[in-house]
């Protein structure tokens, strides 16, 4: 591709005329290597196919906090659905068309006396089927270790200052069990529709590191 000549060495340019940038590739981690090996083994044994894996990844990538917000908004307006969600989170999500997969989903309710927060101390287990990809901070060692030991301090760093008398419960996700927080419905929302309520529900409020937005 032709390009104008400037006062620099061609060693600094790619064949297209753009400056080279240093690669930021890093060696694969142990778990990344294991994931690749397992995927290739499943394909080799004809347990699944590359196309099926790709389709599943694309399906998971389409998940977002909006799915969880729809579930929470329904629980706010429908007492029967709320009871269903708290009794069997997986079945309640299925009832709204959201497939939770084989994992058990448990909904924990915030009240005037109790605030719940979710973590995975072992790795980064997260209700991806309902909330999409986890935020980067959720996967950090700092969050995973500190929120168990000093939850109030960690929540304060997120801008969430809880009353002294409120109980804070930390829920540790596992390989076969996930948690989602049912936040308290904000005051002043009695006349709002289910769709309008869903707009108030944030990802962090369903993890427990935040609360829903207040109506304007």
- Distance, in Å, from the CA atom of 19 to the CA atom of 15, rounded to the nearest integer, reads 9
Name the one residue in this structure whose structure tokens are 């917000």. Answer: 69
Domain ranges of the chain: 10-60, 64-207
Q: Is the pLDDT reported for residue 124 higher than 90?
A: no
The residue annotated as part of the active site, out of 9, 90, 93, 123, is 123
Superfamily of domain 64-207, CATH level 4: Nitrile hydratase alpha /Thiocyanate hydrolase gamma (3.90.330.10)
Is 90 labeled as catalytic in the residue annotation? no
Rounded CA gap, 13 and 209, in Å?
46
**Statement: residue 166 has pLDDT above 60:** yes
Burial class of residue 170 in the structure, from the number of CB atoms within 10 Å of its CB (0-12 exposed, 13-18 middle, 19+ buried): middle
* Residue 93 is among the residues annotated as catalytic for this protein: no
Reported as a single tens digit per residue, the pLDDT across 12-49 is 544 544 444 555 567 888 878 888 888 889 888 889 88
Catalytic residue selected from 93, 125, 173, 205: 125
Q: What percent of the chain has pLDDT over 70?
A: 84
């Amino acid at each position: 591709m032709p390009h104008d000549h400037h006062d620099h060495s061609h060693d600094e340019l790619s064949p297209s005329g753009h400056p080279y940038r240093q690669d930021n590739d890093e060696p694969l981690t142990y778990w990344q290597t294991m994931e690749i090996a397992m995927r290739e083994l499943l394909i080799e044994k004809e347990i699944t196919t590359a196309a099926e894996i790709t389709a599943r990844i694309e399906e998971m990538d389409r998940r977002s906090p909006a799915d969880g917000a729809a579930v929470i908004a329904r629980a706010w307006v429908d007492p029967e659905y709320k009871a269903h969600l708290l009794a069997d989170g997986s079945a309640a999500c299925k009832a709204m068309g959201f497939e939770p997969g084989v994992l058990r989903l448990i909904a924990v309710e915030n009240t005037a006396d109790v605030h719940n927060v979710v973590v995975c101390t072992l790795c980064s287990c997260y209700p991806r089927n309902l909330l999409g990809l986890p935020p980067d901070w959720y996967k950090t060692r700092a969050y995973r270790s500190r929120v168990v030991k000093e939850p109030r301090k960690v929540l304060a760093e997120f801008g969430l200052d809880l009353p002294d008398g409120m109980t804070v419960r930390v829920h540790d996700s596992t390989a076969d069990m996930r948690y989602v927080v049912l936040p308290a419905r904000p005051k002043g929302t009695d006349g709002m529709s289910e769709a309008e309520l869903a707009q108030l529900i944030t990802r962090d409020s369903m993890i427990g590191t935040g609360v829903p937005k207040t109506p304007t």
